[in-house]
Amino acid sequence: MRATVALAWLGIAAAQAASPYALVVSSLGDGAPGAQGGPYRADPAVGGGGRTGAQAADAASGYAGLLTDPVALAAAPAEPSVPEGAQNALGAAALMDDGTLTALEPDWVAWSVQGGPLTGIDADGLAWAGAVRAPALAEFGAAWGGFDAGGAFWVEDSDPDNFGPVAGDGLPDGWQFDHFDTDADGALDASELAAANPGADGDGDGQSNAFEWLAGYDPGDALSRFEVELLGVDGRVATLRLSRVRPGVRYELRAAGLPGAAPGALIATLQPEAEADGVTVEAGWEDGGGERGFFWVDLSDPP
């Protein structure tokens, strides 16, 4: 995938401040932030997803032949976390008065959605995870034999751009909510949604939201912006300083207006392994020495 382009036009003769900036397109890479699941601690009362042979289940069903009585219900998911849109099998067991657990068939249990990104639970205890904008806990309830139990599992933010009104616009939904859900109610009203648009520039610093996300700046602060400074030109080598570079982003320094060099000629490339501020780059070209040329930097998130 290729996102891009913003940039800074810089005259060789006068190293004025970078402007204008214009973003052409942006898209998400696999390494987009927020794709990791959170920690999870399963209810240890139920092992192996709570499913065992039918014999024990039959016995528990009608209490027939049991020498012990149930005293509590326990429920747990098969997996501690699942991706968005995936299913998770829920299991339940009865805790008996002799301290043993008797597994219950999932379809004997009345399951319910208690909270979080669950779109439903069917009669067989298969729970469906909905879309999230950050790892979120899905909570369910179980009822059987007059006992109630509950459990939970994590839904991973496996697709960073699939949530609600900001799905599919090329920006991570979690980042959009972090910056534009200004009243923190977990939803985006019309004005917040407009502000969260990838092409919007609500802080008026000349850089779009999509560009600021790629460059690692705050889309709500005009003083927080990507800048390129031309420190000097010595013969056919220009020294530029980028205000910040980030891992996962490719920086292509290009030039135009240099005699003998093709318009847009690539003169240097950076793919940093770590974030750093104030990075100095030297870029040379074959022919040149003209009175005036221009440099700019393209940002993209390579696949």
At 209 the three-state DSSP class reads helix
68 or 87: CB nearest Ca ion: 87
Sole binder of Ca ion in the list 105, 161, 192, 301 (CB under 5 A): 161
Question: How far is it, in rounded angstroms, from Cα 242 to Cα 216?
Answer: 12
Sole binder of Ca ion in the list 162, 197, 239, 243 (CB under 5 A): 162
Beta strand spans in the chain (E): 10-11, 70-77, 81-83, 87-96, 101-104, 110-115, 118-121, 126-129, 136-144, 147-156, 228-234, 237-245, 250-256, 265-270, 276-284, 294-300
**Restricting to residues 191-220, which ones interact with Ca ion according to CB under 5 A?**
201, 203, 205, 207, 217
Q: Which stretch binds Ca ion (CB under 5 A): 62-70, 96-104, 163-171, 233-241?
A: 163-171
Q: How far is the CB of 166 from Ca ion (least distance, A)?
A: 4
8 or 268: CB nearest Ca ion: 8
Binding mask 222-251 for Ca ion (x = CB under 5 A): --xx--------------------------
* Amino acid at the residue 64: A
Q: How far is the CB of 253 from Ca ion (least distance, A)?
A: 22
21 or 140: CB nearest Ca ion: 21
The closest of 180, 284, 204, 300 to 246, measured between CA atoms, is 300
Q: How far is the CB of 174 from Ca ion (least distance, A)?
A: 8
User: Any contact of residue 181 with Ca ion (CB under 5 A)?
Assistant: no
User: Any contact of residue 156 with Ca ion (CB under 5 A)?
Assistant: no
Which residues make beta-bridge pairs with 244?
277
**Tally of residues, the chain:** 303
By DSSP bridging, strand 10-11 and strand 294-300 are antiparallel
Question: Nearest residue to Ca ion, using CB?
Answer: 166
**CB hemisphere CA count around 289 (13 angstroms):** 3
80: preceding bond cis by omega (within 30 degrees): no
- Considering CB under 5 A, how many residues would be counted as binding Ca ion? 17
Residues that bind Ca ion (CB under 5 A): 157, 159, 161-163, 166, 169, 171, 173, 201, 203, 205, 207, 217, 221, 224-225
